[in-house]
Structure 1
Amino acid sequence: MITIYHNNRCSKSRCALELLKNSGKPYTIINYLDDVPTRDELKNLLKLLKLKPIELIRTNEALWKESYKHLNLSDAKLITLMTKNPKLIERPIVINGNQAVIGRPTEKVLDIL
């Protein structure tokens, strides 16, 4: 089953969802701003994405720039920060089995379909 961590207010996320719809394959939508990933879920996402926590942070987000950019946060603290502020999580994230991508650009999603 394919899963998309989705934010409907994000154009890239909407494009990735449209790509999934057009694929004809079954998928699940997780509106991660409402259904916030747990620490363990984030750790699993990071493992699938092969990323460090800082690489999953939206560093251009105003909240990051204003409140956290100047801090030297550990990986554990970055994961906690994302659970408390899911707006900081890069999007969209699409998972298919043991593969995952951040759909920026949207075409990256095709790599795992």
Structure 2
Amino acid sequence: MIKIYHNNRCSKSRCGLELLENSGKDYEIVKYLEDVPTKTELKNIIKLLGIKPIELVRKNEAVWKTEFKNKDLTDDLIIEAMVNNPKLIERPIVINGNKAVIGRPTEKILEII
């Protein structure tokens, strides 16, 4: 089943969810700010996306700028930062089986559904 890591306050995330709704396919919504992914789950998502952890970070978030920017962080420390501050996680993330995309632009979701 398709899974979307969603934040309803984000317009891009809402667009991604609308695309899934219109697709007619079954999907599951993970409100990741409430149901925060574990370190293991985030590592798996990053692996499916085929990116480095830093590429999943929202670098314009205030907490990133005040707590982490310009620090020499390992991949594990970056993942821990996202687990402890889930609003740092880029969104929406859509997973379908062993494929995943960050839905920016929204049309990227079409590549895996």
Q: TM-score of the superposition, structure 2-length normalised?
A: 0.98
> How big is the shift at 1:65?
1.3
Partner of 2:42: 42
| Local SS of the residue matching 2:3 | strand
Residues 63-82 of structure 1: matches in 2 within 5 Å?
63-82=63-82
The residue correspondences of 1:21-100 to structure 2 (distance < 5 A) are: 21-100=21-100
Secondary structure of the corresponding residue to residue 100 of structure 2: strand
Could you list the runs of 5+ residues in structure 1 that have no partner in the other structure? Answer: none
Identity rate, percent: 69
Distance 1:26 1:80 in 2: 31
How many residues get paired? 113
Q: What is the RMSD of the two structures over their aligned residues, measured on CA atoms?
A: 0.6
* Counterparts of 1:72 and 1:106, CA distance in 2: 32
**How far did 1:98 drift?**
0.5
Displacement of 1:73 in angstroms is 0.7
Matched, 1:108 2:108: yes
| Counterpart Cα distance in 2 of 1:8 and 1:68 | 25
Deviating beyond 4 angstroms after TM superposition, the runs of 4 or more aligned structure 1 residues are: none
Partner of 2:8: 8
Deviation at 1:66, TM superposition (A): 1.9
Q: For residue 73 of structure 1, give the secondary structure of its aligned residue in structure 2.
A: coil
Give the secondary structure class of the aligned counterpart of 2:94.
Answer: strand
1:61 deviation in Å? 1.3
Q: CA–CA distance in 1 between the matches of 2:25 and 2:34? A: 24
1-structure distance, mates of 2:85, 2:101: 21
For 1:44 and 1:50, the matched residues in 2 are separated by: 10
